[in-house]
Amino acid sequence: MKIGVLGAGQLGRMLALGGYPLNHQFGFSANTKDAPAASLGRVFLAKKKIDNIQALSNFADVITFESENTDAEMVAQISKNVAVYPSKKSLFITQHRGREKALFDKLNIPCAPYQMINSLQDLKAGIESIGLPAILKTATEGYDGKGQFLIKTTNQINQAWQNMNGVASILEKFVDFKRELSLIAVRSIDNDHKYYPLVENKHYEGILRLTIAPAQAVDAKMQKTAEHYMQILLDKMGHVGVLTLEMFETSEGLLINEMAPRVHNSGHWSIEGANTSQFENHVRAITGMPLGDTKLRQPYCAMINIIGEIGTTDKVLNMANAHLHLYAKAARKNRKLGHINITAQSKLELERSIKKLECFLPKSFF
């Protein structure tokens, strides 16, 4: 099939790399001919965005997207002529934190206490109700720590609201968590479900830096609980493709933080680490193919993000169990330029391998 991707970043690039062995073709809507995915398919550029979207629609048998910040109404218009997966419904819910939380509440999926904020007065009232510490976030957009403000004292209230620039926001009670976990799953057109193992994510300055797969000390009950929440959400939204749930492990169990209706940074390990990567499974799902097995190829895996500058990649290339993925992006502070996947037969081997690559990670991780 001809697959159109709204966007041409590294996620589109990896979708194409996962889909070409299945004999699919790819096209991308892009703002520049130098986008990371540009060398992996047809690129539709135009002075007006609507023109390149129309050209992509004329090319494609099915369309998907890279980001939850994609225009939901545009997806609705495209879907009148070409199938779009995930659908507008998934996109509309997941691109707004308030709508996400409302769905969690409706489905009895636990999340942190929250209130929607549209003014300084709302923020003061919300803090009075929820208490401190609390996190103020923009209701839409914002990623890698952007669009967030941790409020520890009432003296920070005015500063926090100013930081939001007057946009609709959400106030969430700060969660005292043990660690951050995520679950990636995929649902097919005919309602088949596949789940990857829970993974542990470590962030630095709001950016994911290290993922361990599978997360250690996860019992069957915790995995099943996460899968239960995921299945409810997949089926309620009629979601087709990959869906990611980010969550906190707390002393009282799992609290869901937010969703991403797409392939996700915390699933990049699956390229070498799983029998079927998240990218291939997303392609399988949206094209009506059977879903692939999600079990790990080796007992232990990890993913290290390459942030800001590429550095000395020979260290990676000289390791038999490490795999380098670069995105053809120019270096820039805090920019994701690539990632490294590690596979290992033992926990000790994994730890030693990560230590060998410590130059790619914050010093505080060691």
Residue 325's contacts (CB-CB under 8 Å, 6 or more residues apart) are 14, 268, 271, 338, 339, 340, 341
- Report domain 179-365's class: alpha beta
pLDDT of residue 31: 86
- Which region, left, alpha or beta, applies to residue 105 given φ > 0 means left and ψ of -120 to 50 means alpha? alpha
CATH dotted code for 2-84: 3.40.50.20
pLDDT of residue 46: 64
- Report domain 113-173's class: alpha beta
What is the pLDDT confidence band of residue 53, given thresholds at 50, 70 and 90? Answer: confident
pLDDT of residue 147: 85
Mean pLDDT of 182-203: 98
Decide whether 2-84 matches 179-365 in CATH topology. no
Mean pLDDT of 222-240: 98
Exposure of 193 by Cβ count < 10 A (0-12 exposed, 13-18 middle, 19+ buried)? middle
Ranges 143-147, 259-263, 264-268: which has the least confidence: 143-147
Break the chain into its structural domains and give their ranges: 2-84, 113-173, 179-365
Predicted structure pTM score: 0.96
